[in-house]
Amino acid sequence: MCGILGLLLGNTKSAAAPELLEAGILLQHRGQDAAGIATSDKFGRSYSHKGDGLIAEVFGTTGDKVSELKGPMGLGHLRYPTAGLRHCSEAQPFARQYPLETYLVHNGNIINTAELQNHLGANAPRVGGSDSELLLCLFIEQLKRENVVQGSPIDMHVISNALAKIYELSEGSFACAMMISGLGLLGFRDSHGIKPLVYGERQNADGSIDYMLSSESIALNKLDFKNIRDVQPGEAVIFPITAVHKPLVKRISPALSYTPDIFEYVYFARPESVMDGISVHRSRQKMGVGIAKAVKSEFGDSLDEIDVVMAVPETSNTCALAAAQYLNKTYSHGLVKNRYIFRTFITPGQSQRRTNVWRKITAVKEEFENRNVLLIDDSIVRGTTSKEIVKIARNAGAKKVFFASCSPPIRYNHIYGINLSKKENLIAFSKTTQEVCQDLGCDRLVYLPLESLIQSCLEARDTSKRVDSFEIGVFTGEYITDLKKSFTVPTVKPVNRTLKAEVLYTVTKLETELRTVVTNVDIGV
User: How confident is the model over 92-149, as pLDDT tens digits?
Assistant: 999 999 899 999 999 999 999 999 999 998 766 555 678 899 999 999 999 999 988 8
Using DSSP bridges, classify how beta strands 444-447 and 492-494 pair: parallel, antiparallel or unpaired: unpaired
Bridge partner list, 376:
311, 404
User: What is the pTM for the complete model shown?
Assistant: 0.88
Cβ distance 472 to 450 under 8 Å? yes
pLDDT value for 244: 60
Helix (H) or strand (E) holding 496: none
Residue 175 to residue 372: CA distance in whole angstroms:
44
Q: Are 37 and 503 in contact (CB under 8 A)?
A: no
- Looking at residue 223, the DSSP 8-state letter turns out to be T
More confident call, 248 vs 128: 248
- Cα dihedral value 504, 59, 51, 125, nearest 10: -30
Nearest-Å Rg of the Cα atoms of the chain is 23
| Band of residue 422 on the pLDDT scale cut at 50, 70, 90 | confident
Please tell me the distance from the alpha carbon of residue 486 to that of residue 479, in angstroms, as a whole number: 15
Q: Is the dihedral angle over the CA atoms 424, 440, 318, 451 positive or is it negative?
A: positive
Q: What does the mean pLDDT of the chain come to?
A: 87
**What element of type H or E holds 495?**
none
CA separation for the pair 331, 321 (Å, rounded):
7
Helix (H, G, I), strand (E, B) or coil at 139: helix
Q: What is the pLDDT of residue 130?
A: 83
DSSP lists the bridge partners of residue 6 as 75, 213
Q: How far is CA 440 from CA 295, 332, 351, 368, in A?
A: 18, 22, 16, 18
**Quick one: pLDDT band at residue 76, thresholds 50, 70, 90?**
very high
Q: Tell me: the pLDDT tens digits for 432-459?
A: 999 999 999 999 999 999 999 999 999 9
Residues 28 and 78 sit within 8 Å (Cβ to Cβ): yes
Torsion of CA 55, 61, 64, 70, to 10 degrees: 40
Which residues lie closer than 8 Å to 296 by C-beta, 6 or more apart? 303, 327
Q: What secondary structure letter does DSSP report for 378?
A: S
Residue 91 belongs to what H/E stretch? none
Beta strands 330-332 and 308-311, pairing class: parallel
Mean pLDDT within 483-511: 42
Q: Is the pLDDT of residue 23 over 70?
A: yes
Residue 479 predicted with pLDDT over 80: yes
Instruction: At 484, give phi and psi (nearest 5°).
Output: -75, -15
Confidence (pLDDT) at 501: 38
Q: What is the mean pLDDT of residues 451-478?
A: 95
Among candidate residues 2, 88, 176, 406, the one labeled active-site is 2
Position 256 scores a pLDDT of: 96
* Residue 454, helix vs strand vs coil: helix
pLDDT category of residue 497 using cuts at 50, 70 and 90: very low
Residue 185: CB atoms within 10 Å:
27
Q: Is the pLDDT of residue 273 over 90?
A: yes
As a whole number of angstroms, the distance between CA 216 and CA 200 comes to 11
Could you tell me how many residues make up the chain? 525
Q: What is the pLDDT of residue 126?
A: 57
Say whether 137 is catalytic. no
Three-class DSSP category at 107:
strand
- Helical ranges in 72-170 per DSSP H: 113-120, 131-145, 156-169
CA distance 18 to 111: 34
Quote the distance between the C-alpha of residue 1 and its chain's center.
Answer: 3
Share of the chain above pLDDT 70, in %: 84
